[in-house]
Amino acid sequence: MSIDEREAAAEREISVGGTAPAERDERAARLPDPFTPQRRSLRERIGRPRIAVVLSVVWLILVVLWALFPSVFTPFDPIAGNAAEAQQAPSLAHPFGTDATGRDMFSRVVYGSINSLSGALIAVSVGFVIGTAIGVFAGSSRRLVDDILMRIVDVFLAIPSLLLSLSIIILLGFGTAQAAIAVGFTSVAAFARLSRSEVVRVRGTDYVEAAFASGGRFLPVLWRHVLPNSLNAVLALAALQFGTAVLSISTLGFLGYGAPPPTPEWGLMIAEGRNYVATAWWLTTLPGAVVVLVVLSANRVSAAIAARGRIS
Amino acid sequence: MRYVLGRLGQAAAVLLAAFTVAFILLQAMPGDAIMIKFENPELGLSPDQIAALRQAYGADTPLPAQYLHSLLGFLGGDFGYSIQSGTPVRQLLAEVVPGTLILAALGFVSAVILAVGITILANLPGLRRIADVFRSLPSLFVAVPVFWLGIVLIQVFSFQLRLIPVINPGPIEGLILPVLTLAVPISAPIAQILIRSVDDVLGYPFVAVVRARGADPWWILWRNVARNAVLPAFTMAGVLFGELIGGAVVTETVFGRAGVGRLTADAVTQQDTPILLAIVLLSATAFVVINLVVDLLYPVLDPRLGPRRRARVAAPRERKVVSV
Amino acid sequence: MPKPRRILAGLAAATVLAIALAGCSANASPAPGSSTEAGAPVTGGTLVYLEHQTHTGLYPPGAGFYPNGGIVNNIADRLVYQDPKTLEFEPWIASKWESNADATEYTFTIRDGVTFSDGTPLDAAVVAKNFDLYGLGDPARGLTVSEAINNYESSEVVDKNTVKFHFSAPSPGFLQATSTINSGLLSDKTLDLTFEKFGPGNAANIIGSGPFTVENEKIGTGLDLVARKDYKWAPKSWSNQGRPYLDRIQITVTPEASVRVGALLAGQAGLVRNVEAQDEPQVTGAGFEVFAPQTNGVNNGLSLRFRNEKLSDIRVRQALIAGIDRAELVKTIYTKNYPLATSVLSKTALGYVNTEDKFAYDPKKAETLLDEAGWKLGSNGIREKDGKPLTLVVNEAAPQPRSFDALTLVSQQLKKVGVDLQILKADAGTYAKAIQDADQVQIYHSMVGRADLDVIKSQFYSKNRNTLLNRDNSDQSIGDPKLEELLEAVASTADPKARIEASQTVQKYLADEAYVIPFFEEPQVFAAATYVHGFASESVGRPSFDGVWIDKK
């Protein structure tokens, strides 16, 4: 039993730890010399993280706009290339260069955002919905049901995630959505453990006990008191998983299990461009930089969500 | 004692379930290993020849019989042969497991060292101005694709600076870059835990009190951070270690190392069921054992947990989450 | 809280550094030494050879898989030797041979004094045992028949030095078959092994009479080939008649293309296989040598599965041919080592005849043909007929060089004439099923290397690779009996001249019927450090290390 709690705790540490900006920043400000009195003003302390978060959100919004209205951002067709212009370095006409068959890489990145973002979204949703359902149910059930559910989660963890995700792709067929589901499945266990431990924690708090004591029935109390207070950490993990999912899909592309062509997809672009790392660096580096920025931004936002939970 | 027995029983159930789930998963895949191997037109075999081979391999025996056969074989320690290459699975595993274990163990240790380093740098008074850079390193580390990192490390350290050969390196040389590649993404969550623990400790009112009594601030940090962070780090070791073994596939491919990860990826591609079942059993066993060990080590590492744990076993409804 | 500016700056700096360093590495290779000054061969030394895949077994009939063949070619000798340039035969283990007029009986005289590396003599009896296995297979042990051997019936050991083979029907390709890696001669004990024992982990126990033996195998990462100091039965035309010059070859599996090339340029390897076309300039630019031996068989190209409803109309097939700009394809994706194909067979293949005029690029003609065939342009730029879009699926041929990039470009070209070409990318199981079904994969991308007239039969005959799916797998029916007849003629005409004519008839027939779209004549591309001399390969591009020597201090 205790394993679940500790691991869930650790997972929460991963999701929340170090990324609770306001609170952490407050302490960070004190850190270098923790023993001198606080000198920074409150405004300074709260103001700084907001810039980072705002920039992150702006970047994410831009990427979402790419996904929704790609043709606004680039005149080129991501699929039709011009063979005469194959493998050109970045220039004004092609800010991200062109690939081996003369397709504009920037337009592939822009048009690819819909696939990558929806892939990440699907991955997170699968993990979040299934994992949280199992976790919340286990955390609020009797010991036996709890044990059984958490052992099922253990089975998920015991099978190597690589094997699990590759098998799922083989079963479902190749595609962005399929790869995303496979990635999502590997995070079910993390969500289940985290949400379960949160539910257990919240259940133990005084106000929930009070709610039960004052005659509240199980489900309403769960819905009104337990869930809302458990979800912050889980949401933070979800935001964090969003970035990880993009990378996991990319790794699947590296292993040859990516989206089928000619779909532009970030992870696949990075994976396929790696063969050109010495001859056409832009093919892997520029889409890679876009992904790094998205992941960093997602982490920022995740931290902001987590912080809100902590402060309130 | 009853608790330990119960845990062991649950562990066995998890093992059996993992084996069964894997078996079903593998059987549900389209095609099978024999088809992939022999119906490849490149071999130019005629339909009659393929039919004869299918029969020789017993590919058409009913599934429950195949399941029982492999389960009993595994219980008796017989892992069978790879369908693709014909090599005994036991031999394949014996060849790759030590390398992967060393890589994973060193990768984990290096990740911890890296994480501690980042934490210290992020908290050094002299580096206050750039502390933010170190604090954002963990986020950056998880945002870089591992295969890209590996290829760039090779390009830079082996091909450009020519410090370390990647082709036929010595046993120690050959581990440096792969371990680094593996350690970077794993260090990120650990660093996040450590940085947060430091922040937490410094936030406790008692720190001011202790300091007022004249204690060395670094000593306070060390003692309390160590206590706070060791437990989650240990817990993570349990989770990450299993992931490491599978996650090493990218590192192994880029560096051309044999390992469990690559064996798994190749075997999935070929649907080489005997190899995959053995790997599932191996990793499930490792998972269960590591968790049991962590479980037993917990009270040793943190005496505070002792009584409470006993209370928990007695009254499981009152479990409280530790360490947060 | 970190300032985003700083993160960005740090990220940018890291990226720039990585790029700069990676970029430099291409040019920072050692000063090119001059390989022209190579003097007399030097004996001794170790060569590091980078393979990109690990071998899967050393059973010779399965040696078509490249990494397997690279090993088998060096540990096992053959009865006769085929010169990779002239494609003529010369004695190797057999000092002479003859066959009867209708090619149903072959007699080989085995030379004296040849031993396997375990010390046992190589005599007629063991040769007979070899071909009984390769010609008939042994399904009970999981051992398959060699694709190169047709109509094999039995062997007959006449005396210690003479062996005779009998065939149920003419088998004119048998002599060449005995020269291929699929007929590598193995010792008596080795031939008793099961399929399992030919697999990785047991390579050192595969005993041949070749110039090298296997040592130090590490599953999945490589093995060493060690010279046989007593080797003295090389074919007469080999530059080296004695023991191999090299002491040892370390075959190291290095899956990543960029790592293979980078390691060569950084001086960590002497020879690498599978240099991708896009890396060739980088290698030659740094003063290294690129070898691109041809594979002398059916060209890399597409088979159009005419039994599929959409492709059953010859006008549609002709339109596909006219819609693909093969010259642009070769120019954009490949290098001069990949000559544009002019027939279904390579120019260097036996029996080649030029049918270039049938494969001309003419997009106007393509559009006209499709219009005539009733495929009208739809609103999305894809042609339709009876409400069905002209969507075709082609497989990605993963073992072939840059198959994916090539097909991507072809797909872009066909889009311009209103054809939607999809590239199949799937797991091995789904893939294995899909390529056997013309309704799932209408166009098959492949090639086959073998320096015999039989090669065209290997590729298209219903009971061999059947790439056109002339034999439907669901009901075993044959769609084009004439093609079958023509292919059978190639494999069973005993008269050499008539056999060449038979092959040319097939080539013309395939072009006339628009069954194939050949792309290029496929090479195997190696790159070597300047200190490596005497590189040679057998007739389909597997390296022969016997004559290789190095003058590295």
Sketch the domain layout of chain B as residue ranges. 89-307
Give chain C positions within 8 Å (CB) of B133. Answer: 2, 6-7, 10
pLDDT value for C509: 97
Q: What's the whole-model pTM score?
A: 0.83
pLDDT value for A6: 45
Range scoring the smallest mean pLDDT among A60-64, B102-106, B212-216: B212-216
Interface check for C269 against chain B (CB to CB < 8 A): the answer is: yes
Domain range C298-520, its CATH number among 3.40.50.720, 3.10.450.200, 3.10.105.10, 3.40.50.300: 3.10.105.10
Tokens of A117: 């973002």
Q: Which of C1, C5, C264 to mutate to test the interface with A (most CBs of A within 10 A)?
A: C1
- pLDDT by residue (tens digit) across A4-44? 444 444 444 444 333 333 343 444 343 444 444 444 444 44
Binary contact (C429, A281; C-beta < 8 A)? no
The minimal CB distance from C423 to the residues A81, A261, A293 is found for A261
Q: How far is residue C310's CA from residue C53's CA, in Å, rounded to a whole number?
A: 37
Q: What are phi and psi for residue C222, nearest 5 degrees? A: 145, -175
Q: What are the sequence ranges of the domains in chain C?
A: 46-52+211-293+524-550, 80-190, 298-520
The count of other CB atoms within 10 Å of the CB of residue B307 is 10
Binary contact (A2, B22; C-beta < 8 A)? no
Average pLDDT over residues B218-223: 70
pLDDT confidence band for B243 (50 / 70 / 90): low
Give chain A positions within 8 Å (CB) of C404. Answer: 261
- pLDDT by residue (tens digit) across A236-250? 778 778 878 888 888
- pLDDT by residue (tens digit) across B36-89? 777 776 666 777 777 877 777 777 778 888 888 888 888 888 888 888 778 889
Binary contact (A9, B269; C-beta < 8 A)? no
In the 8-state DSSP scheme, what is residue A94? Answer: S
Q: For residue B316, give the chain A residue with the closest CA.
A: A143
Q: Which of B79, B95, B155 to mutate to test the interface with C (most CBs of C within 10 A)?
A: B155
Looking at CATH, the fold of the domain delimited by C46-52+211-293+524-550 is given as: D-Maltodextrin-Binding Protein; domain 2 (3.40.190)
Q: How far is residue B182's CA from residue C312's CA, in Å, rounded to a whole number?
A: 53
pLDDT value for C74: 96
Nearest to A291 by CA among B188, B153, B144, B247: B144
Q: Scanning the structure block, which residue is given the tokens 């001399």?
A: C533
Q: How far is residue B3's CA from residue A301's CA, in Å, rounded to a whole number?
A: 42
Whether residue A101 has pLDDT greater than 50: yes
Size of interface A-B (CB pairs under 8 A): 238
Of all helices (H) and strands (E), which one includes residue C497?
helix C496-512
- Listed by number, the residues of chain A in 247-266 with a beta carbon closer than 8 Å to a beta carbon of chain C are 257-258, 260-262
Binary contact (C142, B156; C-beta < 8 A)? no
Q: Mean pLDDT over all residues of chain A?
A: 78
Binary contact (A101, C427; C-beta < 8 A)? no
Q: Which of C217, C221, C252, C264 to mutate to test the interface with B (most CBs of B within 10 A)?
A: C221
Q: How far is A37 from chain C (nearest CA, A)?
A: 20
Interface check for C382 against chain A (CB to CB < 8 A): the answer is: no
Of all helices (H) and strands (E), which one includes residue A77?
none
In the 8-state DSSP scheme, what is residue A132? Answer: H
Interface check for B8 against chain A (CB to CB < 8 A): the answer is: no
Q: For residue C258, give the chain B residue with the closest CA.
A: B151
Distances (CA, A) of B131 to A29, B120, B122, B195, C3: 10, 10, 5, 11, 11
Q: How far is A25 from chain C (nearest CA, A)?
A: 6
Give chain B positions within 8 Å (CB) of C11. Answer: 140
Q: How far is A111 from chain B (nearest CA, A)?
A: 21
Tokens of A215: 């005659």
Binary contact (C257, A281; C-beta < 8 A)? no
| CATH class given for the domain over C80-190 | alpha beta
Do you find a cis peptide bond into A34, omega within 30 degrees of 0? no
3-state secondary structure of C376: strand
Q: For residue C261, give the chain A residue with the closest CA.
A: A278
Give chain A positions within 8 Å (CB) of B197. Answer: 17
Average pLDDT over residues A222-239: 78
In order of their start, the domains of chain A are 117-309 (1.10.3720.10)
pLDDT value for B246: 57
pLDDT value for C109: 97
pLDDT confidence band for A260 (50 / 70 / 90): confident
Q: Scanning the structure block, which residue is given the tokens 């067709």?
A: A77
**Looking at chain C, which subunits does it touch, using at least 3 CB pairs closer than 8 Å as the criterion?**
A, B
pLDDT value for B242: 59
Interface check for B199 against chain A (CB to CB < 8 A): the answer is: yes
Binary contact (C425, A296; C-beta < 8 A)? no
* Residue ranges of chain C with per-residue pLDDT less than 50: 1-37
Q: Which of A171, A279, A300 to mutate to test the interface with C (most CBs of C within 10 A)?
A: A279
Binary contact (A278, C282; C-beta < 8 A)? yes
Give chain C positions within 8 Å (CB) of B157. Answer: none
Q: How far is C141 from chain A (nearest CA, A)?
A: 30
Q: For residue A20, give the chain C residue with the closest CA.
A: C1
Cα C490 to the center of its chain, rounded Å:
21
Q: How far is B43 from chain A (nearest CA, A)?
A: 23
Interface check for C16 against chain A (CB to CB < 8 A): the answer is: no
pLDDT value for C18: 47
3-state secondary structure of A32: coil
Q: What are phi and psi for residue C260, nearest 5 degrees? A: -60, -50
Nearest to C275 by CA among C445, C401, C448, C447: C401
- pLDDT by residue (tens digit) across C92-145? 999 999 999 999 999 999 999 999 999 999 999 999 999 999 999 998 888 889
pLDDT value for B4: 73
Domain range B89-307, its CATH number among 1.20.1050.10, 3.90.1640.10, 1.10.3720.10, 1.10.10.10: 1.10.3720.10
The minimal CB distance from A285 to the residues C19, C279, C281 is found for C19
- Contact (CB, 8 A) for C109 and C96: yes
Give chain A positions within 8 Å (CB) of C19. Answer: 281, 285
Q: How far is residue C172's CA from residue C442's CA, in Å, rounded to a whole number?
A: 33
Q: How far is A75 from chain B (nearest CA, A)?
A: 29
pLDDT value for A12: 44
What DSSP line would sit under B50-109, residue for residue? Answer: HHHHHHHHTTTS-HHHHHHHHHHHHHTT---B-TTT--BHHHHHHHHHHHHHHHHHHHHH
Binary contact (C256, B256; C-beta < 8 A)? yes
Q: How far is residue B319's CA from residue B308's CA, in Å, rounded to a whole number?
A: 9
Binary contact (C262, B30; C-beta < 8 A)? no
- C409: amino acid identity, one letter: L
pLDDT value for B233: 63
Tokens of C89: 């035969």
- Listed by number, the residues of chain C in 425-484 with a beta carbon closer than 8 Å to a beta carbon of chain B are 427-430, 432-433, 435-436, 446, 448, 458, 463-467, 473, 476
Interface check for A292 against chain C (CB to CB < 8 A): the answer is: yes
Contacts of C127 (CB under 8 A, 6+ apart): C79, C93, C108, C110, C155, C163, C185
Tokens of C266: 């950084």
pLDDT value for B273: 87
Give chain A positions within 8 Å (CB) of B284. Answer: 155, 158-159
Contacts of A306 (CB under 8 A, 6+ apart): A15, A16, A19, A20, A232, A233, A236
- Listed by number, the residues of chain B in 52-111 with a beta carbon closer than 8 Å to a beta carbon of chain A are none
- Listed by number, the residues of chain C in 308-337 with a beta carbon closer than 8 Å to a beta carbon of chain A are 328, 331-333
Q: For residue B154, give the chain C residue with the closest CA.
A: C259
Give chain A positions within 8 Å (CB) of B191. Answer: 18
Q: How far is B291 from chain C (nearest CA, A)?
A: 31
**Looking at chain B, which subunits does it touch, using at least 3 CB pairs closer than 8 Å as the criterion?**
A, C
pLDDT value for B237: 61
Tokens of A32: 């270098």
Interface check for B166 against chain C (CB to CB < 8 A): the answer is: yes
- Listed by number, the residues of chain A in 191-220 with a beta carbon closer than 8 Å to a beta carbon of chain C are none
- Contact (CB, 8 A) for B222 and B86: no
Query: Strand C420-424 and strand C391-395: pairing?
Result: parallel
Distances (CA, A) of C297 to A76, C147, C300, C335, C496: 40, 14, 9, 19, 18
| Cα within 13 Å of Cα(B317), Cβ side | 4
pLDDT value for C124: 96
Q: How far is residue B146's CA from residue B305's CA, in Å, rounded to a whole number?
A: 37
Whether residue B294 has pLDDT greater than 50: yes
Q: Indicate if the alpha-carbon torsion angle C424, C426, C432, C436 is positive or negative.
A: negative
Give chain A positions within 8 Å (CB) of B36. Answer: none
